[in-house]
Amino acid sequence: MSQDTPRKIRTDLFDIRNVIGALLLIYGVVLVIVSFTTSDADKAKADGVNANLWVGVSLLLFGGFLVGWALLRPIVVDEKQLEEDKKAVDEAAGRPTDTSGSVD
């Protein structure tokens, strides 16, 4: 990486919306698949409704919403503010600060 290119922080990798959305999507797929094997006795327990199917579809929709939200509105990190905050923490802790601005 050259010194001229700004480094991009990967904040979207572990965004909680992606993590929860992915889990909900996985559980939704599993429930939809299981819903095809639901017996009539199991449907009778739920007043004739295939609960696995409807809950699975709901999880798929909400998981898709969370992942879509994370893609459409990503987290933006203000690099200048981040550096100022790091500098303030270092000064408060009594650590020497690097004022040259170079990154090793």
- Taking the chain (104 residues) in runs of 10, the rounded mean pLDDT of each run is 54 85 97 94 90 96 96 83 86 74 54
In terms of residue numbers, what domain contains 30?
16-93
pLDDT of residue 52: 94
How many structural domains compose the chain? Answer: 1
pLDDT of residue 56: 97
pLDDT of residue 76: 78
pTM of the model: 0.68
pLDDT of residue 6: 53
* Cα separation, 53 vs 40, whole angstroms: 14
pLDDT of residue 5: 47
- Torsion, Cα 68 69 70 71, to 10 degrees, reads 50
Residue 100 is assigned to a structural domain of this protein: no
Residue 62 is assigned to a structural domain of this protein: yes
Residue 5 is assigned to a structural domain of this protein: no
* Cα separation, 69 vs 100, whole angstroms: 39
pLDDT of residue 50: 93
Residue 53 is assigned to a structural domain of this protein: yes
